[in-house]
Structure 1
Amino acid sequence: MKKVILAVLFTLVCFTAMAEEQVTRITVNGMGRVEVAPDRAVISFGVENTGKELAPLKKANDQAARKAVDALLRSGVARKDIYTSNYNISHNYDYRQKAEKREKVYTVRNQFRLTLNDVEKVGEVITILERNGVNTIQGVNYTTSKAREMKLEALEKAYLDARGKAEHLAKLEGKKVELLSVSEGGYMPRPEVYMAADMARSKNTPVYAPLEVNVDASVSAVFKMVK
């Protein structure tokens, strides 16, 4: 009989402990955004040549690329801020000709990336490129050198946003919250403003400078409601 009573008491204690362990959880997402004026621009540009003779084509491409780089260096751009991002030689056939007379047509592409630490010089640099052999500009990407600091600040705002939501929901039940877990949902610098133009077709190159660069961050957090 005593064993039965002890077993019942043990079961009641376990049940009570389990009941006490049961908590109401709140899962929320938070968003944070930080805005800053861009202080850096990355220009993607290149030289592209097409022709039937590969050797002179490569030579002409190299000369045009060297001319553009030399002009940038003379303007004050540091050599370390210019680098080749892609060099490609491909061929196709001139399908305007009859099949038996079709000749190979080669295309040589030499592409570069240039980092400017003064966004006010974007227009000036594009003009230099235009006048010194560059015939394609793939885009201008405006960014910030403070990306790491912005990310951390955006994450902080995202967490506070998530906690605020959880506290609001718990308040409806007359309770408070305690954090159980939080995970980063990622971050994204935006908008990255691009300018694209075919220098062979347009001499009046538009330049778009954004007022600000935004960094967005998100978190997912789990809270428990407490008295």
Structure 2
Amino acid sequence: MIIRSSNRAVRPLTAAAFVLGALAAPALATHAAAQMSMPQPPPQIVVTGRGEVQVAPDRAQVQVGMETQAKTAAIASQENNKKQTAILAAIRALGIPAAQIQTLNYSVMPIQRYDEKTQRVVIEGYRVSNIVQVETDKIEQAGPIIDAALTNGGNRVAGLDFLVKDRAKAQETALTKAVESARRQAEVAAKAAGGQIAELLELNINEYERPQPRAVMAMAKMEMADASAPTPVSEGMATIAVSVSTRWRFTK
């Protein structure tokens, strides 16, 4: 028999199709029943919170050094070593222990120029750079360290960073503020939605944000009129921050 509908011919179903349909029906019913019986997760509110604390730095890192140029690498290195020795002696004379003075970078690089006539790279000389890092727990020594380097032949101040040695207590305070901030946001959101928050379902503490050092660059004094004036420094305040992500159960 052919059944026609909307001017289309529909072929009669085979016995195999009836059998497959009969087998699939119970499976579909079971799947639907399983979905209906699965417990639905409770309504949730997901928020993030951030807390930060301002602390006074108690440690300084000063990076100073010498850069020289000469026709040969040997001459540039010899001149650099001579002046760097004087710089280190002046820094140690301030009472800085040798253990707090570390060579941070030493490099020898050719000074190159492209010759248009010969179409070749020409080495005109060599540049030697030597940078040392000096650490001190006395913030007030940062300026004298820079002065000691510049007045003894140094011509590079790569950076001045103010750090915090013990951040544990400040991190705990910042974490408390972050969680409190997240809870307040969740409470406000729940109230706006006509309900309230119940228990905390999840709390993730993100990596602590290290206080950003305040990098200070200094210029070589050369022969300026105020070359005898001490280098002024101001450590300011460091910010220690932490963020958290939370999930709270929402109830009406």
TM-score band, normalised by the shorter chain?
0.7 to 0.9
TM-score, normalised on structure 1?
0.82
CA distance in 2, matches of 1:200, 1:104: 27
**Paired residue for 1:109?**
129
CA drift of 1:31 comes to 0.8
Q: Pick closer, same or farther for the CA change 1:97–1:110 going to 2, 3 Å.
A: farther
Residues 122-201 of structure 1 correspond to what in structure 2 (within 5 A)?
122-172=142-192, 173-199=194-220
Which of 36, 48, 68 pairs up with 2:87? 68
Q: Does 1:36 align with 2:61?
A: no
Structure whose CA Rg is larger: 2
User: Of Structure 1 and Structure 2, which has the larger fraction of its residues in helix?
Assistant: 1
Contact 2:108 2:126 in 1 (8 A): yes
Contact 1:31 1:162 in 2 (8 A): yes
TM-score, normalised on structure 2?
0.75
Q: Does 1:78 align with 2:115?
A: no
CA distance in 1, matches of 2:63, 2:209: 21
Task: Give the partner amino acid of 2:220.
Answer: M
**Structure 1: segments with no counterpart, 5+ residues:** 1-6
**Structure 2: segments with no counterpart, 5+ residues:** 1-28
Task: Give the partner amino acid of 1:184.
Answer: I
Contact 1:94 1:105 in 2 (8 A): no
- Identity of matched residues, %: 25
Task: Give the partner amino acid of 1:188.
Answer: E
How many pairs does the alignment contain?
216
Task: Give the partner amino acid of 2:111.
Answer: N
1:120-173 per-residue CA deviation (whole Å, 9 max, x = no partner) reads 121122111111221100110111112233223212211121112112222342
Task: Give the partner amino acid of 1:40.
Answer: R
Q: Pick closer, same or farther for the CA change 1:31–1:63 going to 2, 3 Å.
A: same
SS of the residue 2:47 aligns to: strand
CA distance in 2, matches of 1:98, 1:124: 50
